[in-house]
Amino acid sequence: MKKTSKLVSFNSPTFLAYVLIAPAVIYLLGIVGWPLFETFRLSFTNASIAGEEYVGFENYEKLLSSSKFSKIAIRTFVWTFFSVLLKLILGMIGAVLLNASLRGRTFFRILVLPPWVVPIAIGALGWMWVYNGHFGILSGIGIRLGILDGPFSFLAYKQSAFIATMVTDVWVGTPFVTLFFLAGMQAVPKDLYEAAYCDGAGRFRRFYHITLPQITPVIISMSLISAVATFVSFDIIFIMTEGGPRGATTTLIIDTYKMALGNYKFGRGSARAVMIVLMITTFAVLYFYLLSKINKKVSHG
């Protein structure tokens, strides 16, 4: 009897539990919590290097009435959507390939990770070289094959720069998605496949009817994680194009950075940062809401 009561107190010491998480929580409150609150507060001021004054909703009114801002927002959504879509498709292809029982697959699994391990800034530098019109391999191959008439600088034109930065972002994100899809595939019970095989199901049917449904939870969480990360992706665009040419790759985060730390307009920059936070939160909530609706439908049908 005495032993069990001793164990109960050993297993549920609320005070100790809080003491252990306190340092991390306090640190995060200081470095993330307070800045987040301060961003909200500053967004209602005209803060700059000179000082700050309360201006109410002026920053937001300006933002929402400017056609430039809505253009940037739409551009960010398009950039994010296609980048995430490509990451998921390539990640799925990569995971299927690395999951095949082929010689050398352990090595391939290691070889896929460098884009994630190497700092984005350095990967972006490598891609700048690939995209270079005069010295880059893409332009070189294009000329050799006769697709291009002469040197073509991918980062110098609006459309190609938009696609080029997106491809680089896909490159940065693909290893991580591949790794998690692969882990999901390996957790699928082997007997499911064996049973399906005995029933005469081919490879594609097994993939479609077993693998896909089994790893759906991983696909769902990876979509959200990479959508959020892509939405605020900064290094790639900032290094490769600084948002140019003529604003073609200016996303919300680049616009925010330039407004706040390029022009020192802290108030107007904060309003932009708040808009980003609101958009991400709305997106995440909508995503979960739609998911639960789909789940209900599936389970009722």
Partner 1 sequence: MDKYSLQLKIFLYFSIFLFFIFILLPFVEMFYASLRPLKHLFRSPYQFYSDDLSFWAYREMWNTVPLLGRYIFNSFFMAITVTFFTLVFVIPAAYSYARFNFPFKQGSLWVLLAVNMFSGAVLLIPLFKLLRTFDLLNTYFAMIVPGIAFCIPTSIWLLKAYFEKIPVELEEAAYVDGASRIDILTKIIAPLSTPGIVVTAIYAFIQAYAQQFLFAITFNSIREYMPIVSGLTEFIGYQSVKWNEMMAASIVGVFPVLIVFVFLQKYIVEGLTAGAVKN
Question: Which parts of 117-136 interact with partner 1 (CB under 8 A)?
Answer: 117-123, 125-127, 129-130, 134-136
Residue 114 touching partner 1 (CB under 8 A): yes
Cis peptide, bond prior to residue 245, ω within 30 of zero: yes
Please enumerate in sequence order all residues whose Cβ is within 8 A of that of 87, keeping only pairs 6 or more positions apart, or say none.
Answer: 170, 173, 174, 177, 226, 230
Residues 134, 151: contact at Cβ < 8 Å?
Answer: yes
How far is 184 from 180, CA to CA, in rounded Å? 6
Query: Which of these segments, 57-65, 66-74, 105-113, 293-301, binds partner 1 (CB under 8 A)?
Result: 105-113
Binding mask 22-61 for partner 1 (x = CB under 8 A): -xxx-xx-xxx-xxx-xx--x-------------------
Q: How far is the CB of 102 from partner 1 (least distance, A)?
A: 6
Other CB atoms within 10 A of residue 59 CB: 24
Instruction: Pick the binder of partner 1 from 46, 229, 242, 245 (CB under 8 A).
Output: 229
For 9, the token pair is: 């107190």
Q: Which of 58, 69, 140, 247 touches partner 1 (CB under 8 A)?
A: 140
Q: Number of residues interacting with partner 1: please give it, by CB under 8 A.
A: 101
Residue among 1, 5, 11, 65 that touches partner 1 (CB under 8 A): 11
Task: Please state, in angstroms and rounded to a whole number, the distance separating the CA atoms of residues 258 and 36.
Answer: 19
How many CA atoms lie within 13 Å of 102's alpha carbon, on the beta-carbon side?
A: 11
By the rule CB under 8 A, 211 interacts with partner 1: no
How far is Cα 270 from Cα 290, in angstroms, rounded to an integer?
30
- What is the spatial distance between Cα 301 and Cα 299, in angstroms, rounded to a whole number? 6
Which 152-171 residues touch partner 1, going by CB under 8 A?
171
Which is nearest to 257 in space by CA: 224, 233, 280?
233
Smaller CB separation from partner 1, 31 or 67: 31
Q: Which stretch binds partner 1 (CB under 8 A): 57-65, 76-84, 234-242, 291-299?
A: 234-242
Which span sits near partner 1 by CB under 8 A: 60-68, 76-84, 191-199, 242-250?
A: 191-199
Find the binder of partner 1 among 165, 174, 226, 250 (CB under 8 A): 174
**Helix 212-231, helix 266-300: angle, nearest 10:** 170
Please report how close the Cβ of residue 224 comes to partner 1 at its closest, in angstroms: 9
Nearer to partner 1, 61 or 194 (CB): 194
Instruction: Kindly report the number of other CB atoms within 10 A of residue 74's CB atom.
Output: 10
